[in-house]
Amino acid sequence: MKIDKNKIKTLNSKTLPGHRESFEYLSGKLSKQGFDPKQIIQKIQDFQIAIPSWALGTGGTRFGRFPGGGEPRTLEEKIDDVGLLHALNAGSGAISLHIPWDIPSDIEAIKAHAAAHNLLFDAVNSNTFQDQPDQEHSYKFGSLCHTDPKVRQQAVDHNLEVVHYGEKLGSKALTVWLADGSSFPGQMNFRKALQRTLDSLKEIYQGMPSDWKMFVEYKPYEPNFYHTVIQDWGTSHLLASQLGDRAFTLVDLGHHLPNTNIEQIVGTLMMQGKLGGFHFNDSKFGDDDLTAGAMKPYQLFLIFNELVEGMEDKNSVNPPPAWMIDASHNLKDPLEDLLQSVEAIQLAYAQALTVDRVALENAREQNDAVLAQEILQNAFRTDLRPLIAEARLQAGAALEPVAVYRDLTVRNELVKERGAKSLATGL
């Protein structure tokens, strides 16, 4: 299904007068503080967040899965779902594919389908964390780090196959996340496993087109519970540095131990020009994959504060990072969940754009901790939602995406079209 833009316009008209009032008030307030609301709106509109193909179905836990119906059954339907989101929020203009879950059979048709929804193909993701029915060797004891060179070669070949599909679709980056590691002390030789992983990554890196980037994602535990080969940003950074200029670290918010200072990691990587991409989600305990901003919105703001500082720095050596949501849980309608995530990310970005950077730097130079906190929290506590809504309105999207999604009974339509028992491939 496709959403008729006129229907969005009609539904917008119900809340338009209230929106106008709050936007004008906010706009005046920001202008008085020296910000240009038009410029911020433009930045929000330019900020596109990729939606992963695997987040469109209801996620499960290891205990069960409770699908809500109408899930996309094919790659075309996954593209349709991201198209629905983009029509509603004008901020989800890209899709990130996971091979082999989303192997395109007719490349040209898939490209045309995405283009009809104004969607680009973001980074492609390989999968060596589970065995496919037709594969020769098992990844039970690792993939790129495996003791058996035949297994490593199979994993390298798979990554290059992913690149091959991505190239045809117009992607420009490969994200590698490995489940490789061990669950018991003594099971694996740390040094050898990391060396083998580096050697395998080198082969993949050398096989990529010369304008491609590689993003190396890290994670401290799960599915292995004693050690993971790429456990943290330092290990990822070490690998990316040895691979070359087009290899970068990818930060997934959920891939940290509790209380890790993620914003500091962002600052450090940007200083090194090695922050390649971001996976947004939220969590309380581990890799909970909850809606971005649902649990720790202040942390999300502080992370964006570092990102914006790095992005706005004219002397920055860091290329523009790639943005993606990587969340999937088992309670909400996945499309409503993604609308909420995009809004939370845009909001944190806008808040960071309204930090008075000159005043903040002065406060820092003066060691004025109180004033520095005042400046940050002033931006965080200003309700910028009318600014995000205005960015959407100007782009022909919904003032209130979730409300419009519900008013148009999108999920019911999808269930009618695809059935109550349709299941998306993925986790």
Under rule CB under 5 A, residue 279 binds Mn ion = yes
Residues 163-222 that bind Mn ion (CB under 5 A): none
Under rule CB under 5 A, residue 102 binds Mn ion = no
Of the candidate spans 60-68, 303-311, 320-328, 359-367, the one that interacts with Mn ion by CB under 5 A turns out to be 320-328
If DSSP codes are grouped into helix, strand and coil, which group holds residue 415? helix
Under rule CB under 5 A, residue 252 binds Mn ion = yes
Asked if residues 278 and 249 have their Cβ atoms less than 8 Å apart, the reply is: no
Cβ proximity to Mn ion, 146 vs 279, nearer residue: 279
Euclidean distance between CA atoms 130 and 142, whole angstroms:
10
**Contacts with 23 (C-beta within 8 Å, 6 or more apart), sequence order:** 386, 387, 389, 390
Cβ proximity to Mn ion, 37 vs 220, nearer residue: 220
Of the candidate spans 118-126, 279-287, 350-358, 414-422, the one that interacts with Mn ion by CB under 5 A turns out to be 279-287
Cβ proximity to Mn ion, 252 vs 343, nearer residue: 252
Q: How far is the CB of 405 from Mn ion (least distance, A)?
A: 25
Instruction: Return the sign of the alpha-carbon dihedral for residues 364, 365, 370, 376.
Output: negative
> What are 278's strand-pairing partners?
251, 323
- Classify residue 97 by burial, with Cβ atoms within 10 Å: 0-12, 13-18, 19+: buried
Residues touching Mn ion: how many (CB under 5 A)? 3
Q: How far is the CB of 253 from Mn ion (least distance, A)?
A: 9
Cβ proximity to Mn ion, 122 vs 326, nearer residue: 326
Structure tokens that stand for 404 in this block: 């419009």
Q: How far is the CB of 194 from Mn ion (least distance, A)?
A: 20
Under rule CB under 5 A, residue 326 binds Mn ion = yes
Cβ proximity to Mn ion, 145 vs 251, nearer residue: 251
Under rule CB under 5 A, residue 227 binds Mn ion = no
Of the candidate spans 68-76, 183-191, 275-283, 407-415, the one that interacts with Mn ion by CB under 5 A turns out to be 275-283
Chain position carrying tokens 């629905």: 84
Q: Could you write out the three-class secondary structure of 255-268? A: CCCCCCCHHHHHHH
Picking from 264, 257, 166, 169, the residue whose alpha carbon sits closest to that of residue 214 is: 166
| Residues within the interface to Mn ion (CB under 5 A) | 252, 279, 326
